[in-house]
Structure 1
Amino acid sequence: MAGKPILPIYPALPGFLMLLSRLFETRPDDDGLPGSQRKLALLVLVMGTLMAVLDGGIVNIALPTMARELQVAESHIVWVTNAYQLVTASSLLTFAALSRRVGRHRLYMGGLAVFSLASLCCALSESLTTLLLSRILQGVGAAAMLSIGPSMYRVIFPSRLLGSAIGLGALVVAFGIASGPSLGGLLLAVASWPWLFAINVPVGLVALWLAARALPREAAQPGRLDWPGAVLSATMLGSFVYGIDRLGHGAAMGEVIALLLASVALAGLFVWRLRRAKRPLVPPALFAEPRFSYAAVISMLAFTANGAAFVGLPFFYQNLMGLPPWQAALMFTPWPLALMVAGPMAGRLADRVNPTKLSSLGLVIFLLGMLSLALMSNTAAPLDVVWRTLLCGLGYGLFQAPNNREMIGSVPLELSANASGVLASVRTFGQSLGTALLGIVLALSFGSLQLALWLGCAFVVVALSLSLWRIPLAARR
């Protein structure tokens, strides 16, 4: 049964192939890379992004087996996932800023090399300590790639295809999120858990070889990295993500509150540092552009609602509807499937029409889907579940690519790497906040999964209001 959830992905292939053919069209006045070189550069980005996203969730299904074979408690083995996510989240802004000092192509290739080496170390680990250290190193490599991935599309593809390229990036991330558990289960059916990591090694080496030949070269910019800002950024994001994780694992509320308050205090110091540093980690000029600021806040709000639903729905399907895990996965599959179909379509349209109108329409549809889920009975028939999750995926797919295009495309090219880091950070922050929202609701005596979905709807309403408000700004671009 492990392979079932990935089967519905195939209907998305025609749209994927149409998107690829458009991305490789070449015109005499195009900026970016020539069409033939774009293919190899795109393959490098897809391979790196897919490995980094997949490794965030593909090992989850193997955690019980790993705990048994390494002879450790299940409460300890969860850090195989947590360590990777924590390091990745806390390093994104730092690596985005570092890319300006060393060049994006060098940073991306360095991330690939570190990720591949760390994957080999994970596969060879014979103790939990060694495995955790290897996962930390793997998270560093993943952060280097994910922090600048979206901005690489800006220099590889011509401006007229930026929306389509970013739509493809959203599709790759959706595929990684959707297929991680299924691919992990499928691999475990024929091999042992170290192969979940070992499979990255040959893929990473091929990607590294292609990257050396295809990625556009950039000159390193003079200046030092803002190390105080980097430390504040890492501790700010790290304490927040760790606090959310502790909340989800039943930690004392005092400990959770202390971690979250520390994150807020560090955020204040981080903003103070940005305003006073000569070369700050995140240039304040980014947020001087209203279109970028709106897109960043809206993305965080939407990812918060998305995170609450992604974590809450499996509990709803299994605990309230009584479905077995594989069938719950099938009920959930229409969401990422619809996103994979709608994302490339929305990306193509965003190159031709106002992307804020498209993303606003997507938020309307997403809100309708979230409302339908919040109103759903635990005795709903399977088809009644499917159309609701399809509606959510369709709306989110229409929203994400145009909003990402607005975010990356609204800033000067020299700031696109920093914008890419902010995009990855608000996504992580929003997903963590959505997870916290669900955990807090379920901890309340009067809490319920429906209440969490209703609160998710409230976040979408705020995001939609801001998205409608910003439409005139984008119309003047």
Structure 2
Amino acid sequence: MLAQANKSEYTDVTLQGGGHMSPIKRWLTLGTLGTFFFMVIIDGTIVSIAIPAIARGLSVSTSSANLVISVYLIGISALLLMFGQLGDSTSRMRLFMWGTVIFTLGSLLSGWGLSFGTLIGGRIVQAIGASMTMANSYAIVTDVFPANELGRALGIESIFISLGALAGPGLGGLIISYLSWHDIFLINVPLGIICIFIEWLIFPRHVKAHDHQPLDYGGAAWMILMALVFYGATSTALRQPIITIVLVAVFAVIFVFFVRHERRYQHPLLDLQLFSNRRFRNSLIAALTSFIVSYFFTLLAPIYLQLVLNYAGRLTGELLMISPIIALIANPVAGTLVDRFDKTKIMTAGMITLIVAQGLLIINHGTGEPWPFVIISVVLSLGTALFGTANNTIIMQSVTAKQRGMAGATNSLMREVGLALGTTLASTLYYRAIAHEVGHSVTTAFHIPTDDLLTGQTVAYAVGLIILIGGLIAIWSLREVHTGVVKQHAGN
């Protein structure tokens, strides 16, 4: 019976994906998607270390140079849902290919950047291409892989995502040390060309389009406004709290208008009825909590290693590489488990593991290092692999084939929102707690007593623990629903 169900589902998705793909082509497709996902995500973090060099090279202030980061993140966030809708109504693979081309051209333009305007223009082009690929990547994987292999496929794709999120600053530092800031962008060009060539070889040439639907341009306009205001609010949270409060209020008003528009529009950018699906809704909420809290560690761990433990940059980098190295092994294993066992239970186990890691971070105060940090990094990576792989699989399998683009784009949007909220919340909590201890406003961790740094870290991680518990509650309700369904079938 299960085999028949899997076969039926695969037949349906292969029609949506444009025809049968051999196992070799499926895995080559996954490798290409993962490689490009890595490039797209790493470009959101790799630039941060190059800001001083960009400012000097183009004769602009460092605050102006920060636009190089923000326009990229704003552009992706604003356009994800639109390209998810476009992928659902046309061809996801074709849209991904065009996104690859546009991102590669944007990388070339950014690297060429003889002026600041050219660089910003290149980053906008990059953001357009990145959003086209990110919006459709999860949906393409779900289209081309049968249900009994989807967990493994998404687990492997998660490797590239984890590496992209964690390796950016380190890789950027290496490039800046030996080459120029231009090469941070130009390195994407040969990789992009290779991806384009592989896509041209293995992606179906004649893809049957879905039912064409008009794009929700009104919803897209509201999304752009929300993205601009949201990033404005997160960027002023630490230094200008009054402005942040005003911007949050403006965001709330825009959000109300966006929801009202989506409810009235016949073909909305985001089908709000998706959120009546508890499996999709609660899994997405849990995903957002994990994304938010993961950036607590990303932001605070380097400060802890360098300013609390006084480790050199090389040792700090080696310790920070533990999580992505463990992810190389943990994600495929998690994918295999997801394919064989109950996905909700695995997602629950992953979230509990993340909560354990968060608790260890709270009580870790620098004694016996570096082994406590190593253990925490391993536990954190295992929890992320179990939770993330199961969560992505559940989200993508909880919607119909025609909604996969929208579901995948929404999942990617949660990652971008989590990045912004996580870094903003972690830094605000951290520095506010330190300011309370030292008795004056603080915006830097330099020249702060070690005990006060540890206090700030404890407060931030404690709030992260509460957020993760909220995610566990969202997951737990799914277990209750699943148990109820099983009992009902047993009674029948």
TM-based fold match above 0.5: yes
CA 1:340–1:427 in 2, change beyond 3 Å: closer, same or farther? Answer: same
Shift of 1:161: 0.7
Farther off after superposition, 141-150 or 385-394: 385-394
CA 1:300–1:152 in 2, change beyond 3 Å: closer, same or farther? Answer: same
In structure 2, what is the equivalent of residue 455 of structure 1? Answer: 463
Shift of 1:177: 1.7
In structure 2, what is the equivalent of residue 266 of structure 1? Answer: 254
Q: 1:38 aligns with which of 10, 23, 26?
A: 26
Please say if 1:219 is aligned against 2:200.
no
Following TM superposition, the consecutive aligned residue runs of length 4 or more in structure 1 with deviations greater than 6 angstroms are none
Pairing of 1:324-363 with structure 2 (within 5 A)? 324-363=312-351
CA 1:126–1:394 in 2, change beyond 3 Å: closer, same or farther? Answer: same
Q: 1:194 aligns with which of 182, 188, 206?
A: 182
Contact persistence 1:244–1:432 (CA under 8 A): yes
In structure 2, what is the equivalent of residue 174 of structure 1? Answer: 162
One-letter code aligned to 1:467: I
1:405-428: per-residue Cα shift (whole Å, max 9, x none)? 011111111101100011011122
Shift of 1:379: 4.5
Q: 2:357 aligns with which of 366, 369, 373?
A: 369
In structure 2, what is the equivalent of residue 307 of structure 1? Answer: 295
CA distance in 1, matches of 2:273, 2:314: 48
Shift of 1:348: 1.3
Contact persistence 1:89–1:238 (CA under 8 A): no
In structure 2, what is the equivalent of residue 378 of structure 1? Answer: 366
Shift of 1:29: 10
One-letter code aligned to 2:131: A
In structure 2, what is the equivalent of residue 246 of structure 1? Answer: 236
Counterpart of 2:178 in 1: which secondary structure?
coil
1:103-138: per-residue Cα shift (whole Å, max 9, x none)? 212211111111011111111111222111111111
TM-score normalised by the chain length of structure 2: 0.86
In structure 2, what is the equivalent of residue 443 of structure 1? Answer: 432
Contact persistence 1:340–1:397 (CA under 8 A): no
Pairing of 1:4-403 with structure 2 (within 5 A)? 31=11, 32=14, 33-216=21-204, 217-248=207-238, 250=239, 252-403=240-391
CA 1:76–1:327 in 2, change beyond 3 Å: closer, same or farther? Answer: farther
Shift of 1:299: 0.6
Contact persistence 1:104–1:218 (CA under 8 A): no
CA distance in 2, matches of 1:262, 1:326: 44
Gaps of 5+ in 2: 1-6, 15-20, 437-454, 487-492
One-letter code aligned to 1:348: T
Contact persistence 1:365–1:394 (CA under 8 A): yes
TM-score normalised by the chain length of structure 1: 0.89
Shift of 1:36: 2.7
In structure 2, what is the equivalent of residue 17 of structure 1? Answer: none
1:434-455: per-residue Cα shift (whole Å, max 9, x none)? 2221232123533712100000
1:286-311: per-residue Cα shift (whole Å, max 9, x none)? 22221101100111111111122221
Farther off after superposition, 444-453 or 274-283: 444-453
Shift of 1:220: 4.4
Shift of 1:474: 4.2
CA distance in 2, matches of 1:268, 1:326: 48
CA distance in 2, matches of 1:218, 1:259: 44
Shift of 1:222: 2.0
Percent of pairs with identical residues: 26
CA distance in 1, matches of 2:127, 2:179: 24
State the structure with more CA Rg: 2
- Cα RMSD for the two superposed structures: 2.2
Contact persistence 2:234–2:420 (CA under 8 A): yes
CA distance in 2, matches of 1:144, 1:29: 26
CA distance in 2, matches of 1:257, 1:294: 28
One-letter code aligned to 1:184: G
1:231-268: per-residue Cα shift (whole Å, max 9, x none)? 112222332123212325x3x22221222222222222
Contact persistence 1:109–1:211 (CA under 8 A): yes
1:349-380: per-residue Cα shift (whole Å, max 9, x none)? 11121111001111111111111111111354
Contact persistence 2:81–2:410 (CA under 8 A): yes
Contact persistence 2:73–2:416 (CA under 8 A): no
In structure 1, what is the equivalent of residue 451 of structure 2? Answer: none
CA distance in 1, matches of 2:208, 2:76: 24
CA distance in 2, matches of 1:47, 1:395: 23
Shift of 1:173: 0.2
One-letter code aligned to 2:237: L
CA distance in 2, matches of 1:121, 1:379: 48
CA distance in 1, matches of 2:176, 2:120: 20
Q: 1:410 aligns with which of 392, 395, 398?
A: 398
Shift of 1:158: 1.2
CA distance in 1, matches of 2:10, 2:351: 32
CA distance in 1, matches of 2:45, 2:263: 37
One-letter code aligned to 1:172: F
CA 1:439–1:28 in 2, change beyond 3 Å: closer, same or farther? Answer: closer
One-letter code aligned to 1:385: F
CA distance in 2, matches of 1:206, 1:137: 19
Shift of 1:30: 5.8
Gaps of 5+ in 1: 1-26
CA 1:384–1:29 in 2, change beyond 3 Å: closer, same or farther? Answer: closer
